């Protein structure tokens, strides 16, 4: 199997949104992970430049999400 060039039209997904985002109830991001949530909140509230958030852990625990 070789490499196939695709165009934006080849991967375009059509969808519509029936509910505006301001009517969607927020969902928890870190289920049962209070320590992780606190760390993210601290980093997101830091206004100084040069601070980064580094996430580590075993594969399969949705670190990127």
37 CB contacts (<8 Å, ≥6 apart)? 29, 30
Q: What is the pLDDT of residue 34?
A: 84
Whether residue 43 lies inside any domain: the answer is: yes
pLDDT 10s digits, 10-38: 888 888 888 888 888 887 777 778 888 88
Q: Round the average pLDDT of the chain to a whole number and report it.
A: 83
DSSP output for 3-38: -----HHHH-------S-GGGSPP--SSTT-HHHHH
* Residues 40 and 53 sit within 8 Å (Cβ to Cβ): yes
Q: Is 50 inside any structural domain?
A: yes
Q: Tell me, yes or no, whether 41 lies in a domain.
A: yes
- Report whether 22 contacts 32 (CB < 8 A): no
Q: Is residue 18 part of a domain?
A: no
pTM: 0.40
Domain-located, residue 23: no
- What is the residue range of 47's domain? 32-65
Q: What's the total number of domains in the chain?
A: 1
What pLDDT does 28 receive?
Answer: 74
Percent of the chain with pLDDT over 70: 97
The verdict on residue 17 lying in a domain is no
């Amino acid at each position: 199997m070789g490499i196939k060039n695709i165009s934006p039209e080849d991967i375009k997904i059509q969808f519509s949104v029936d509910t505006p985002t301001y009517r969607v109830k927020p969902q928890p991001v870190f289920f049962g992970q209070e320590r992780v949530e606190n760390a993210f909140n601290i980093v997101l509230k830091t206004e100084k430049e040069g601070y980064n958030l580094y996430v580590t852990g075993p594969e399969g625990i949705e670190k990127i999400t």
